[in-house]
């Protein structure tokens, strides 16, 4: 009976260690995906929104598009979701047109329901 108890304790300990290792690895994967998503978001804002300027960024509102980050031979897909809204000079959202627009791009990955990163930039007229 004591041998069985010792085996159960050893098995329980091994399973706990295995679960801990899996959690650490999942956190490492999420961290790497966040770094990749950050690069994708910066590239999207700088190469798409900035050249569009104040007048052109209105077309980005509610836009959804795919982007890929390739490392070595693996390509990781991301979904970019854009929002554009008017802002007051105090930095608050405005329901009427102003001369300040805020562009936010959220970068998502199929593994996680929430955005990995969100980047926001203000544009003035």
Give pLDDT tens digits for 60-100: 999 999 999 888 888 899 999 999 999 999 989 999 999 99
Q: Give the Cα separation of 62 and 115 in Å (integer).
A: 15
Q: Whole-model pTM?
A: 0.79
β-strand pairing of 112-124 with 100-109: antiparallel
Using pLDDT thresholds of 50, 70 and 90, give the confidence band for residue 121: very high
Look at residue 2 in the predicted model and tell me its pLDDT: 76
DSSP secondary structure of 11-44: HHHHHHHHHHHHHHHHHHHHHHHHHHHHHHHHHH
> What are 91-103's pLDDT values in tens digits?
899 999 999 999 9
Sign of CA dihedral 34, 37, 43, 45: negative
- 53 backbone φψ class: left, alpha, beta (φ>0; ψ -120 to 50): left
Look at residue 19 in the predicted model and tell me its pLDDT: 78
In terms of Cα–Cα distance, which of 84, 81, 69 is closest to 115? Answer: 81
Structure tokens at 47: 């190469």
């Amino acid at each position: 009976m004591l041998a069985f108890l010792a085996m159960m304790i050893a098995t329980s300990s091994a399973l706990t260690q295995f679960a801990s290792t899996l959690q650490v690895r999942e956190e490492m994967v999420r961290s790497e995906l966040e770094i990749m998503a950050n690069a994708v978001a910066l590239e999207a804002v700088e190469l798409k929104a900035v050249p569009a300027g104040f007048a052109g960024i209105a077309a980005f509102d509610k836009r959804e598009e795919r982007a890929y980050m390739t490392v070595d031979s693996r390509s990781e897909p991301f979904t970019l979701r854009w929002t554009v809204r008017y802002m007051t000079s105090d930095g608050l959202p405005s329901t009427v047109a102003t001369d300040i627009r805020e562009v936010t791009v959220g970068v998502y990955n199929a593994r996680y329901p929430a955005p990995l990163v969100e980047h926001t930039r203000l544009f003035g007229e």
